[in-house]
Amino acid sequence: MALTPTMSGDTFRYLLIPADVSLPIQTLTASKCGGLGDDELQKEAKKYFYERSDKEARQAALDQASPEQRKQLADKMREEVQSAAAGQNAAAFAQLDDDALIDIMRTTQNSATCEITALTLPTPLNSYRGVSMYTADDARIQNLPPNPRATDLLTACGHNINAEKQTIGGPPLGGIYGDAFVGRYHDNELQDIWEREDISVEEVEIRQNPLPEWIKAAKLPGGGGSGSGAGENMMNVQTLDQLKEGKEEGYTWSQNDDEVEMRFPIAASAKVKDVKVDFRMKSIKVTVSGQVLLDATLGGDVDPEDSTFTIENGSGGTRELCVTLGKKESYTWRCVATPK
């Protein structure tokens, strides 16, 4: 699991907190050379959770499904979307043909992802040091066991695991399930700094008296956590690593300072002539074979002349519509798109 360092100054230490309390918390080492754009902790966490999930088995079962089984799976997916009514795109999503829905399932099984929870956010009070936790984003679906130590760490930083609604960057409702990674970073936008830093096992031992200094600071006003006096809106602040990429209903996205890329699973039979993308400075509408995949207001202004789309072959025989938006100004959007 740990990476082999090349130079001590180019590496950082992070932690793995097993759900099994009989196992010790592990200290792991990785290179910090990738920075925010190619962060080794996120890469290793995603790989770790993918390899321990049943996604590969579900992918194989999907590939081997008969036409009748594929139709049943597509119908079941439509029913789940319609019953959940998750967002304004739910109706359009449910109207996709069987091939498109199967391709979405296949893309989901192929993707290595994880959930990121901001234990503390970088603030002047904590010298712009943040601490994040990385867990399996489908932990409940996999019926992974509770992780008492990770949950205790979460609540020690002032997070409410019994809230009615989960917020962006906030804790999974009910606490942490499955193994959890914890890492620290230095993030000061004014000084153009983003760098991984060490965190030790002793710093996550919340049963010690007194508490570790960073946890005590998290409870102070402006301390970066969600403790008393920290401000309710702190839970809605997104750290930069959470703004780099994400998954929405029917598509995934990634961004850098100059452009946004959206990827939509589409039917294998789809051609360029079937695609219509209406690029506007503040909005976008994506239609494939007469079906609207996205009609949304963008999180910033784009240059329609510097925006385009292509159809690409994805992994596992899937097809993807790749939409690239050229930003008018170079900065990180806090929100990529809001459905109309």
Shared domain for 29 and 173, answered yes or no, is: yes
Last residue of a domain, one of 198, 226, 241: 241
Task: Please indicate whether residue 73 or residue 29 has the higher confidence score (pLDDT).
Answer: 29
Shared domain for 209 and 277, answered yes or no, is: no
Instruction: Specify the pLDDT at position 94.
Output: 64
CA distances from 102 to 58, 185, 248, 273 (A): 12, 39, 17, 21
Q: Looking at this protein, which amino acid is placed at residue 226?
A: S
CA distances from 298 to 72, 277, 281, 285 (A): 35, 14, 8, 10
Instruction: Specify the pLDDT at position 326.
Output: 94
Return the CATH number at 282.
2.60.40.790
Shared domain for 323 and 224, answered yes or no, is: no
Report the alpha-carbon distance of residue 52 to residue 136 in Å, rounded: 10
Which tens digit of pLDDT belongs to each residue from 211-236?
A: 888 998 887 777 776 643 333 334 33
Shared domain for 177 and 261, answered yes or no, is: no
Last residue of a domain, one of 226, 241, 256: 241
CA 95 from centre of chain: 26
Give me the domain span that covers residue 181: 8-52+114-241
Shared domain for 14 and 155, answered yes or no, is: yes
Shared domain for 27 and 175, answered yes or no, is: yes
Element (H, E) at 15: strand 11-17
> Are the C-beta atoms of 80 and 185 separated by less than 8 Å?
no
Shared domain for 236 and 249, answered yes or no, is: no
Question: Given pLDDT bands bounded at 50, 70 and 90, which one contains residue 82?
Answer: low
Specify the pTM: 0.59
In a domain, 1, yes or no: no
Residue 2 has pLDDT above 80, yes or no: no
Which tens digit of pLDDT belongs to each residue from 165-192?
A: 555 455 667 789 999 999 999 998 888 8
Structural domain count, the chain: 2
